[in-house]
Structure formats: C-alpha cells, structure tokens
Amino acid sequence: MDTLFNTKFEGEPASHSQPGVQLKSSTYDLHESNVHLKLTIVSTVGFGDQINKEDSYKPIVEFIDAQFEAYLQEELKIRRVLHSYHDSRIHACLYFIAPSGHSLKSLDLVTMKKLDSKVDIIPIIAKSDAISKSELTKFKIKITSELVSNGVQIYQFPTDDESVAEINGTMNAHLPFAVIGSTEEVKIGNKMMKARQYPWGTVQVENEAHCDFVKLREMLIRVNMEDLREQTHTRHYELYRRCKLEEMGFKDTDPDNKPFSLQETYEAKRNEFLGELQKKEEEMRQMFVQRVKEKEAELKEAEKELHEKFDRLKKLHQDEKKKLEDKKKSLDDEVNAFKQRKTAAELLQSQAQQAGGSQTLKREKERKNFF
C-alpha cells in the first residue's frame, strides 16, 4: 500500500499469533497537487494464521455487512446528510495469493466465494519475484481456471465505456496481477527507482517486464476508481439493501400487484412484533412459574430433610440422656452401698475398741488384787 500510493502509512506490523481474525481500519487524508483523497485501508490481521480456518471469513463478511448497515441506517433517516456522510463501505478487496505456483488454497476459494457478492475482488499474486516467468504464467492460468470452476466472480474492469474499453479489456486478460512492493529506491542508470535488490540482480517495481504493479495502479486508481465505487453502490449495496428490506417485510407490490403501502407494512410488522413480544412474555411468565414451583419443591424437600435430621438428633439426644441417667443411678447405688459398708465397718471398729478397753480394765484390777 505504501508503494501503491507513494506514501508512508503509519502502523505497526501485526503478529501472526492472533487467536482469531481481527479487522484493523485506518483512515488517511491524501493530497497530491489539487487532488484530495480520503482513503480507508482495512487490514485482515491474523487471517489464515489459525489451525482451524473454517470460520476465518466470517469476521470479514460481518465487517462488510456492518458498513452496509450503517449506510442503510443513514439512508433511512428522515433528515439525511448523505452528501457529507463518510462512506465506510468497502469498494475494493485486494486479495493476496501466496506465490506457491501450484493452486489456490481451499481457504482462498471459500473466502472469495463468500465475498464475491459483497465486494469487488481483485486477486493479486504477492511477491511474484519468488517464482519464474514460466511458472507465473502457468500459475495465473491455474488460478483463473479454479476461480471459474468454483463459481467465484472477481471484479472485471468495465468494457462498456468506449474510452476505456480497449485498455480494460487488455487488463482483464492479465488478471490476477502479479505484483512486487518496495519503498526502497535504487539508482538504475541516471534515475532513482523503487526496486528490490538481490544477489542475482535487481527487480524494478515499476518495470512492466518485471511485474504487474503499474497495471494494478493504473486500473485501481487512475482508470476504474469511480467504477469500483459505482459497483459497490449499485450491485453489492443494493443486494444487501434489498435482502434487508425484504427481511423487514417490505416489498415493491402486494399480492394484488398494487403499490406496497409503507403504513400497512409498518402496522403489520408492528403487530407481528407485538405478537412475538406477548408470546415471549407468556413464555417467560410460564418459565418463571415453573421455576417458582421447582424452587418450592426443592425448599419443601430441604425442609423435610431438616425435620428428619432434627428427629434423628432428638432421638439420639434422648438415648444419650437415658444412658446418662442409667449410669447416674448405677453410680448413686454404688455410693449408697459404699456408705452402708463404711457405716458397718465403723460400727464394728467401735465395738472392737470397746471390747478391748474392758479387757484392759479387768487385767489391771486383777493385778491390784494380787498385790
């Protein structure tokens, strides 16, 4: 893009480790002499870098549709300012093809098939100096054949205008363009020219014998820029607009082939919307009632479990209490028995002491009588 517009666009190189495809849009104001161009470049960051590439095209399609939707919303306003509206619709898709020399990848075919009804596709063989001239010619024929056999419609430069019919017809035969890009200038002869230097020689970007860069620039910027914008508006946007309005219930004529009434359509769609709203409201109410019943059943079940647990704990407590009472009674009986034995032992001890004292007195008395 820097080479194509002979400028330096700001931006950091994107990494190839993105989890998905992300679209990065940047708008620039370009000035050259008295010409002013507002250019928007959208990069598909991460496209083709994932292991599973099945849905890689979806973010691109969604982005293009979002720009169509924004324009449609502006167009449907009561007070429109389309003359000053920044048209963000994509007018051209430069689809870069790897210079493999073999055939298109399945990802390329699927993506271009999904995009050909939404944007003007211009296929480009990138880094075309990576393969020889003979291989490049065969590769172009192979790509064209695969596009036709798979029903992919690429942008064809218009030939209905006599002033550009000859050059556009010639350029259509050169599609897809094989290009090389470089911002480095190398001195060739007495001139400084954009080129790429290799040990085996120099590839000039603007030399038509080396690549198709000049053809691409001529067709894209100088000859067919207005046609690209017109194709976007009259073909791709109109298709989106028609499908969107039909989806909303609008038609050109009613079943009786009479002009379609906007008021009747509005009322019909309003009634349909209200009916769907009431249906959803009833479904939500039924769902709410069902969930309340389920919650009540869960609470009752939990309450029942708590009661059962309480009864088990109560019974266990009663059993433990009875065991403790039985043990206390047993201990009380042992204490009473011990007290009785103790009383009996003390009584016997007292009787024994009394009997011993009587014998002592008797012996002393006998001793006195002897003296």
Judge whether 40 and 8 are in contact, CB under 8 Å: no
How many other C-beta atoms lie within 10 A of the C-beta of residue 128? Answer: 24
Helix axes 58-75, 106-115, angle to 10 degrees: 10
Question: Given this model, what pLDDT does residue 233 score?
Answer: 94
Question: Given this model, what pLDDT does residue 369 score?
Answer: 62
Question: Given this model, what pLDDT does residue 183 score?
Answer: 84
Question: Given this model, what pLDDT does residue 257 score?
Answer: 61
The C-alpha atoms of residue 115 and residue 65 are separated, in whole angstroms, by 11
pTM over 0.85: no
Contacts of 175 (CB under 8 A, 6+ apart): 122, 123, 140, 144, 154
Q: How far is Cα of residue 199 from the mean position of the Cα atoms in its chain?
A: 45
Question: Given this model, what pLDDT does residue 252 score?
Answer: 67
- First vs last C-alpha separation in the chain: 156
Question: Given this model, what pLDDT does residue 255 score?
Answer: 60
Residues of the chain with pLDDT below 50 are: none
Judge whether 245 and 269 are in contact, CB under 8 Å: no
Judge whether 180 and 211 are in contact, CB under 8 Å: yes
